[in-house]
Structure 1
């Protein structure tokens, strides 16, 4: 039962974070962040927020610094918006699955291109 609740809280957090990143946070380093997923532990104590950032490594690091700086505000707002008694501790991580998928796709293209020769 707690897994269902954790998934529901994760989906609500994902929606609210996306809204906050586009409307509420004024830091320009947060402009090109997309929330790809939120994993909440069964006890609702921690939430791992997976993000992607449009840009190079420097932009990614800047975005992560901005999110880390705003973590207290973000957590407070999430608690208010979702109306949780205790808001999960938030940890931001880069979602590498898109880069990984792109790399696999390029390798497959290379293989097919070599087969055509």
Structure 2
């Protein structure tokens, strides 16, 4: 018999991520918020709280967008309760900014810059 690799909270978190992705996209459009997308959802074991990690196209717009999403989280939670999710109790939502993409881009640009300073110019290479 195969072992259960995923916990119940992981399965619910994945479903919440799909549903919240659609709802956050609609909230961005309806409320004129900066463009953000849901990158992950972490849910507590008792299913009372869900931390929704969002990332922004422009890093400087991330924190204002998170602040606005937290302000309308009750609307999003209400929409989530009336969506296709079959949950007895919809968790409280807490939005946070996921800066891992920004950090990854910064590391990549630093590595590219370092590689340019180390690598000899194409014309000076000896064969």
TM-score by length of 1: 0.83
Greater relative contact order, per chain length (Cα 8 Å cut-off, separation 6+):
1
**Is the radius of gyration larger for structure 1 or structure 2?**
2
The residue aligned with 1:80 is 82
Compute the displacement of 1:20 (Å).
Answer: 1.3
User: What is the rounded CA distance, in whole Å, between the counterparts of 2:9 and 2:82 in structure 1?
Assistant: 17
1:89 Cα deviation from its structure 2 partner = 1.6
Give the structure with the larger helix fraction: 1
**Structure 1 residue runs of 4 or more that deviate by more than 6 Å after TM superposition:** none
Cα deviation code 1:50-81 (max 9, x no counterpart) = 10122352x33332232122111111222332
Q: Is the 8 A contact 1:79 1:85 kept in 2?
A: no
Contact 1:27/1:66 (CA < 8 Å) preserved in 2?
A: no
Counterpart for residue 32 of structure 2: 28
Q: What pairs up with 1:35-46 in 2 under 5 angstroms?
A: 35-46=38-49
Local SS of the residue matching 1:39: strand
Q: State the secondary structure of the residue aligned to 1:29.
A: coil
**What is the distance in 1 between the residues matched to 2:47 and 2:74?**
17
- Cα root mean square deviation, aligned: 2.0
Alpha-carbon separation, structure 2, partners of 1:62 and 1:97: 17
Task: Give the number of equivalent residue pairs.
Answer: 114
Within a 5 Å distance, the mapping from 1:1-117 to structure 2 comes to 4-23=7-26, 26-30=30-34, 32-57=35-60, 59-81=61-83, 82-117=85-120
Structure 1: gaps of 5 or more residues? none
